[in-house]
Chain A
Amino acid sequence: MEDIINFLFVGVGGQGILTASDIAAGVGLEAGYVAKKSEVHGFSQRGGVVESHVRWGEDVGAPTAEKGTVDFLIALEVLESARWIDWLRPDGTLFINRQRIAPMSVTVGDAAYPSDESILEAVDRRTDDVTLVEGLGIAEQLGDARMTNTVLLGALSTRLSVAPETWLAVIERRVPPKYVEMNRKAFEEGRRHG
């Protein structure tokens, strides 16, 4: 199983990670690959960590990648980029949405949220290919914070050979009709920040 492209979307419950990974898998299928995606629902949705794997290839076995083999790590939350960085292959591509969501352990004072600088320093040891995206800010400017994931998909799309139109076609099928136009803008804005 040569040449599998591995994606890992990570963040916090409620950030639209499952939708983003659904779209990425759909794009892979549309582009002619065998696409698989995998996540765990249930307990983790209640404010916990959410992870979703997507794999594209001529042939794909497991629906999850192995630690250290992820080509594209898309972190919708800053701290989560550090938690999952070991999954990225050395010199893989990392996108970080510049949004901080404090875990309960930080809120109640049992732990501290590391500074952006220390997180970036940690992830830099794995890869130089780090892109910070103001996903939340862009989505809010365009009118809805829930489109943060679409902004990140736009940024991600700049690194893949699949045509933007294919991404947009899959996004259109996935989001409610009245949000299609906004999501198109969010995707295009994301492409400018990729």
Chain B
Amino acid sequence: MKNADSSTRRRLLSGNEAIALGAWEAGVRYAAAYPGTPSTEILPALAEYAGVRAEWASNEKVALDSVIGASFAGGRALAAMKHVGVNVAADSLMSLSYTGVGAGLVLVSADDPGAFSSQNEQDNRHFARFGKFPCLEPSDSQEAKDFTAFAFDLSERFDTPVMVRSTTRLSHSKSPVRVSMPEEPREWEPLPPFERKQKKYVMIPAHARLRHPEIEARMEAIAEYAETCPLNRVEWGDKRIGIMADGMAYQYAREVFAGFSFLKLGMVHPLPEEMIRDFASVVETLVVVEELDPFIEEQVRAMGLDVIGKEVFPRTGELTLARVREGATKAGLPIDEDAPSEEPIGEALTIPARPPALCPGCPHRSVFFNLRKLKLLVSGDIGCYAIGVLPPFEEMDMLISMGASIGMAHGAKQAGCPDDIVATIGDSTFFHTGLPELANTIYNRGAACTMILDNRTTAMTGGQEHPGTGVTLQGETSHEIDIESVVRAMGVEDMWVVDAMDVEGVEEAIREAVAIDDRPTVVLVNGQCVFVPGFRRRPVARVDEDVCNGCGFCFRVGCPAILKSDEVDEKTKRPKAEIDPLLCTGCTVCLQVCPRGAIYETETEEA
């Protein structure tokens, strides 16, 4: 943690960009990730640095496995994923703790308190305790860079994987980082031949039993080290209150508790027990401010110390200045009473909500329009198509995790669910965990219908490549794995391949597929996300005001480009439709569903 000098400049970096920079400065050779908010931007940032091999893995476990191989082979390596991605990688992670590392290995877990873009808000600090490895928590972008670089040294020093835990607020906020100039390309020494260490790297039971005591000893050594670890520090102030805080919680706390004493924890596992006891013995009241679970608090209580924590601060959702202030007030702590004006003034007005919607031109539109029309039971998955649960479709009945759509549909059917059920899964999600789920349905003589919605990208996270797109993260051309061939090779005989923009074709395929109830069926819907580079807009659609009678059918396709016009139909007394030519991509879905033929392509008119 150097001080700024003439050879450095300050740049605004996001937490994710800073993590990438820290890894690069530490000499990372190989990095892998599966995209997931809020972790996604780490790998594209790393991919820009010359000499680093950065890859999109097909899922988080594959990412971690690849990184483990790189580390065993002697190259510093980093895996990045969102909090729930660590669940996917956990099988390897738990045993990686036993093997330890070759070269430094860092796992970035980007948690999502507030569940801004996730299915839960699990607190991944528990993984560090569960798996017995250290966890570092930066509080701003400078620390994100410094801690990540530090994590590689720590990993090698103690022969352990190290978790760097970020959160949405850190990953996606920008703050100044001192950056050394220039960022020169690195010359790589070739790795030496693989050093064989079978008792360390081959986790058969006999070896695992030998490794376990070493892991316990390692944690003791790291706990001792934590007492002097430079990432933990005391900032003395008014000693009436002593605040222990980690990560972004520290930033809220130091504004709310300005002037009081702090024990800032940069390493949250293992905790520095002596340091905490010393701090507690000096301050009058000990407070822990942490986001989500009482992870620090419970361990501090186990030390026999009295502490104010989750009885006043929330366990759920993201912390904010206001929530930390409310907690402090509730506990009767003597903070400055300059709480901002609370009188709400927006109440006089009803402000319509603005939920997310499928984009104009989205290839999922025809699918959810038809699923609603056919009133099917829909087992959903993680991706943009989760918007199918919102109005105007409201056509999704279960959604839990990556790939789960297929297994849930299968299980419901096997248990005897009488409804016609379809699983909807995207292309990237299909490669992530959909493959083994579909193999299971086929193997167990399941009868659910799987709809694979191929939009040629990982759309929800902003458009990342995947095994089906034929392009790597660093832009090389690769083999494009063909989903249709894969599904047929797995033995699915009843398969429909349809164009996403053919509304009737999609309907017909679904009808035929769900009519089969004694064997698995697959409907592959081919389309293209409007954000895929090279997406071509077609001539925009327009509404013929003389023909439109305001029936509102086109509003049910949930397209942001279709608006209510100011003109009202004389007979129906309902507003006519109007299409925003700037938003319309010419997908023709509305044109196909209009019962009166009132919508036409402009090309047709001009011809």
Residues on A facing B (Cβ under 8 Å): 1, 12-13, 22, 25-26, 29, 34-49, 60-69, 79, 82-83, 85-86, 89-90, 102-114, 118-119, 121-123, 125-126, 145
Contact = CB atoms under 8 A, between A and B. Distances in A.
Contacts of A112: 350, 352
A37 B250 CA distance: 17
A45 B350 CA distance: 23
Given A66-B321, A106-B352, A111-B352, A61 B252 contact: yes
A67 B462 CA distance: 29
A86 B169 CA distance: 21
Contact of A63 (B10, B173, B460, B461): B173
Contacts of A89: 340-341
B251 A105 contact: no
B415 interface: no
B321 A107 contact: no
A110 B391 contact: yes
B205 interface: no
Contact of A38 (B173, B342, B460): B173
Given A61-B254, A68-B341, A122 B12 contact: no
Interface stretch (B49-57, B273-281, B353-361, B447-455): B353-361
A36 B258 CA distance: 18
Interface in B350-373: 350-359
Interface string B269-293: 0000000000000000000000000
B391 A102 contact: no
Contacts of A26: 12
Given A42-B116, A68-B342, A69-B340, A34 B176 contact: yes
Contacts of B348: 121-122, 125
Contact of B351 (A40, A67, A82): A82
B306 to A, nearest CB: 26
State the main secondary structure of chain B at its contact with A: loop
Contacts of B346: 82-83, 85-86, 122
Contacts of A47: 354, 356-357, 359, 560
A107 B37 contact: no
A104 B355 contact: yes
Contacts of B12: 22, 25-26, 29, 35, 37
Contacts of A38: 169, 172-174
Contact of A79 (B116, B352, B560): B352
A68 B320 CA distance: 13
Contacts of A114: 349-351
Contacts of B254: 1, 61
A125 B341 CA distance: 13
A151 to B, nearest CB: 18
Contacts of B117: 40-44
Interface string B208-251: 00000000000000000000000000000000000000001011
A112 B351 CA distance: 8
Contacts of B248: 62-63
Contacts of A83: 346, 351, 354
A151 B476 CA distance: 39
Contacts of A85: 345-346
A36 B173 contact: yes
Nearest to B348: A122
B351 A104 contact: no
A105 B258 contact: no
Given A25-B12, A107-B563, A125 B345 contact: yes
9 contacts: A36-B175, A39-B172, A41-B117, A42-B37, A42-B117, A43-B37, A64-B321, A79-B351, A86-B346
Given A43-B117, A114-B350, A102 B345 contact: no
A38 B174 CA distance: 6
A68 B350 CA distance: 20
Contacts of A12: 354
A158 B352 CA distance: 32
B352 A37 contact: no
Interface string B456-482: 000011100000000000000000000
Contacts of B552: 108-109
B128 to A, nearest CB: 25
B174 A22 contact: yes
Contact of B340 (A62, A67, A123, A126): A67
Contacts of B185: none
B322 interface: yes
B539 interface: no
Nearest to B577: A107
A68 B351 CA distance: 19
Centre residue among B348, B552, B560, B582 by max chain A CB count within 10 A: B560
A22 B13 CA distance: 10
Contacts of B169: 38, 63-64
Given A66-B325, A69-B340, A82-B351, A107 B116 contact: no
B555 interface: yes
A22 B563 CA distance: 31
Contacts of A25: 12, 174
A40 B116 contact: yes
Contacts of A64: 169, 173, 320-321
Contacts of A45: 356, 462
Interface string B567-607: 00000000000000010000000000000000000000000
A102 B357 contact: no
